[in-house]
């Protein structure tokens, strides 16, 4: 009798365990019913947003604004860019604020998926619609004509006047941006015809060849008549840069411009970008996951993690004395020849799911410096100097001291 009772007890225990496991696992899955409901709700949201985006003849006053600091060419302020997917809302950019000062290179760094490209695509208003939308926040852009646009509010049709002529983008893989069935020359001329419709074919050819020469292509007349597949990776990236420059832009957004190239060509392309920044008298937003590239090129650095800025400052500050534990980890993971250890440092753990972000510091579960305070809400960006901000509770005291000093100085004035 006891044997039978024990047997049933064991079965019941196993059954309970199985149920508990199923319940735990079900937290990570969504049912078909939930998917359908989310898709329906998200479709409703994106439809309303697209309707607003596709409006025509919108008076300029609706999207004209003022810069906080006239020395900046771009000011991102509390930008939220989301993707409304069937599985939920992907908070790809979740409250990003930073500036791009005039005639400077701002490096944006962070591991894969942290929202670097989505931030730049929001600035160009090229998010994959209808799912990708700027949910809230501002992107102030100071144009060549002296007007300041809030890109987040500019309708799609009016954005065409700004994109290309004012700001251009250089992508990681030039082959995906160049059309394989058209000659290089035709693709370069096309940009000029689009932005300066009065240009004649002869003028366009002259300007295109000149641009190819500027970006260091040896026989520009020959390359003008070639197809993209007839060029090397480095040459294709130079052509992309020539295309980006042909309208004399105010701002170049370079998204991993050298990742697909070998080290020597990479150095040449970076050198070229630096020269061109001075030539066009503009600014560059340089996106990369390579801290080495940032150290070489940038004046300012913005470190992103899980859709947020965790630290920003001048390149000297960030490299000499990284403050955020994530930036410290990034710096430690740069391969160095003089290291004693033969294993490379990696930051343990993974990035949180952008659909289900925690309500505490996003880096907490990977952070080796966390303490009780870190269980609280997401830390705000704190000033540790006039040019430096860090989103980490470790610097509350420094921030308080900074505020006291700044308050004292203001009081003396």
Ligand X SMILES: Nc1ncnc2c1ncn2[C@@H]1O[C@H](COP(=O)(O)OP(=O)(O)OP(=O)(O)O)[C@@H](O)[C@H]1O
Name the site residues for ligand X (rule: CB under 6 A): 83, 85, 90, 92, 110, 112-118, 128, 131-132, 289, 354
* CB closer to Mg ion out of 245 and 254: 254
Tokens of 111: 């591991």
- Measured from the CB atom, the residue of 283 and 288 that comes closer to Mg ion is 288
Count of residues near Mg ion by CB under 5 A:
1
Quickly list DSSP for 214-239.
HTT-SSHHHHHTS-GGGS-HHHHHHH
- One residue of 152, 162, 309, 367 binding ligand SF4 per CB under 6 A: 367
Tokens of 215: 């970006």
Pick between residue 117 and residue 384 the one whose CB is nearest to Mg ion.
117
Phi, psi angles (nearest 5°) of residue 288? -160, 160
258 lines the binding site for Mg ion (CB under 5 A): no
To ligand SF4, the closest distance from the beta carbon of 94 in angstroms equals 15
Q: Which residue is nearest to Mg ion (CB)?
A: 117
131 touches, from ligand X, ligand SF4, Mg ion, none (C-beta below 5 to 8 Å by class) = ligand X
Count other Cβ atoms within 10 Å, centred on residue 69: 11
Smallest gap from Cβ 217 to ligand X, in A, equals 27
C-beta of 111: minimal distance to ligand X in Å? 7
Which of ligand X, Mg ion, ligand SF4, none does 383 bind, CB closer than 5 to 8 A by kind? none
Choose which of 178, 302, 361, 381 interacts with ligand SF4 (CB under 6 A): 361
User: Are 185 and 198 contacting, i.e. CB atoms less than 8 angstroms apart?
Assistant: no
Say which residues have a Cβ less than 8 Å from residue 36's Cβ, sequence separation at least 6.
none
Site string for Mg ion, 73-112 (x = CB under 5 A): ----------------------------------------
| Torsion (CA) 389, 392, 398, 401 in degrees, nearest 10 | 80
Pick one of Mg ion, ligand SF4, ligand X, none as the site partner of residue 112 (Cβ within 5 to 8 A by kind): ligand X
242 SS3 class: helix
- Is the CB of 117 or the CB of 327 nearer to ligand X? 117
Mark the segment that binds ligand SF4 (CB under 6 A) among 222-230, 261-269, 311-319, 357-365. 357-365
* CB of residue 350 to ligand SF4, shortest distance in Å: 15
Does residue 392 bind ligand SF4 (CB under 6 A)? yes
Closer residue to ligand X in complex, CB, 112/410: 112
Choose among Mg ion, ligand X, ligand SF4, none what residue 95 binds, the Cβ cut-off being 5 to 8 Å by kind: none
Check residue 393 for interaction with ligand SF4 (CB under 6 A).
Answer: yes
| Long-range CB contacts (within 8 A, 24+) of 309-312 | 309/96, 309/97, 309/98, 309/381, 309/389, 309/391, 310/363, 310/390, 310/391, 310/392, 311/388, 311/389, 311/390, 311/391, 311/392, 312/98, 312/381, 312/388, 312/389
Residue 256 backbone dihedrals phi, psi, to 5 degrees:
45, 60
Structure tokens at 126: 């090229």
Cβ closest to ligand X, residue 115 vs residue 329: 115
Q: Does 325 bind ligand SF4 (CB under 6 A)?
A: yes
Considering Cα of 138, then 141, then 146, then 147, what sign does the dihedral take? negative
Indicate the SS3 state at residue 160: helix
- Our CA angle for 374, 75, 281, nearest 5°, is 130
- Which entry of ligand SF4, ligand X, Mg ion, none binds 84, CB below 5 to 8 A by partner kind? none
Element at 394 (helix H, strand E) = none
Q: Write the DSSP string, 250-314.
A: SEEEEESTTTTS-HHHHHHHHHHHHHHHHHHT-EEEEEES-HHHHHHH-SEEEEEETTEEEEEEE
Q: Which of 163, 379, 382, 388 binds ligand SF4 (CB under 6 A)?
A: 379
Task: Out of 72, 81, 117, 142, name the contact with Mg ion by CB under 5 A.
Answer: 117
Residues in binding contact with ligand SF4, number by CB under 6 A: 12
Using CA atoms, how far residue 170 sits from 178, 191, 400, in Å, is 11, 14, 41
Binding to ligand SF4 by residue 305, rule CB under 6 A?
no
Q: How far is residue 96 from each of residues 167, 168, 311, 370, 388, measured CA to CA in Å?
A: 20, 21, 11, 23, 15
Rounded to whole angstroms, the Cα distance separating 379 from 386 reads 19
Binder of residue 393, out of Mg ion, ligand X, ligand SF4, none (CB less than 5 to 8 A by kind): ligand SF4
Q: Does 98 bind ligand SF4 (CB under 6 A)?
A: no
- To ligand SF4, the closest distance from the beta carbon of 288 in angstroms equals 22
> 């937003």: which residue's tokens?
285
Q: Provide the binding-site residues for ligand SF4, judged by CB under 6 A.
A: 325, 361, 363-364, 367, 369-370, 374, 379, 392-394
Q: Provide the binding-site residues for Mg ion, judged by CB under 5 A.
A: 117
């Amino acid at each position: 009798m006891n044997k039978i009772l024990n047997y049933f007890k064991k079965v019941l225990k196993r059954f309970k365990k199985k149920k508990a496991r199923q319940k735990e696992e079900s937290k990570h899955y969504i049912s078909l019913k939930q998917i359908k409901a989310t898709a329906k709700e998200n479709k409703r949201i994106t439809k309303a947003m697209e309707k607003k985006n596709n409006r025509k003849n919108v008076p300029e006053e609706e999207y004209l604004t003022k810069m906080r600091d006239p020395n900046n060419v771009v000011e991102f302020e509390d930008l939220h860019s989301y993707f409304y997917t069937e599985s939920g809302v992907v908070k790809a950019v979740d409250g990003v604020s930073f500036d791009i000062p005039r005639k400077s290179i701002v490096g944006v760094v962070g591991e894969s998926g942290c929202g670097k490209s989505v931030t730049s695509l929001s600035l160009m208003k090229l998010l994959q619609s209808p799912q990708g939308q700027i949910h809230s926040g501002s992107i102030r852009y100071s144009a060549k004509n002296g007007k300041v646009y809030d890109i987040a509010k500019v309708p799609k049709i009016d954005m065409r006047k700004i994109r290309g002529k004012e700001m251009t983008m250089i992508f990681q893989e030039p082959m995906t941006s160049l059309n394989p069935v058209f000659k290089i020359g035709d693709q370069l001329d096309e940009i000029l015809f689009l932005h300066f419709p009065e240009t004649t074919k002869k003028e366009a050819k002259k300007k295109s060849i000149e641009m190819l020469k500027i970006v260091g292509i040896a026989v520009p007349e020959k390359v003008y008549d070639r197809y993209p597949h007839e060029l090397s990776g480095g040459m294709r990236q130079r052509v992309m840069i020539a295309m980006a420059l042909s309208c004399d832009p105010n701002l170049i957004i370079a998204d991993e411009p050298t990742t697909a190239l070998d080290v020597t060509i990479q150095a040449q392309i970076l050198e070229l970008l630096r020269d061109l920044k001075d030539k066009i008298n503009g600014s560059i937003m340089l996106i990369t996951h390579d801290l080495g590239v940032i150290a070489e090129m940038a004046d300012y650095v913005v470190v992103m993690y899980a859709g947020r800025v965790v630290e920003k400052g001048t390149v000297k500050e960030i490299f000499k004395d990284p403050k955020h534990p994530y930036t410290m980890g990034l710096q430690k993971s740069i391969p160095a020849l003089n290291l004693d250890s033969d294993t490379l440092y990696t930051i343990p753990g993974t990035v949180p799911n952008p659909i289900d972000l925690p309500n505490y510091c996003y880096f907490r579960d990977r952070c080796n410096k966390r303490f009780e305070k870190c269980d609280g809400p997401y830390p705000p960006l704190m000033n540790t100097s006039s040019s430096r901000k860090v989103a980490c509770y470790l610097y509350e005291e420094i921030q308080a001291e900074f505020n006291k000093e700044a308050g004292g100085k203001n009081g003396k004035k």
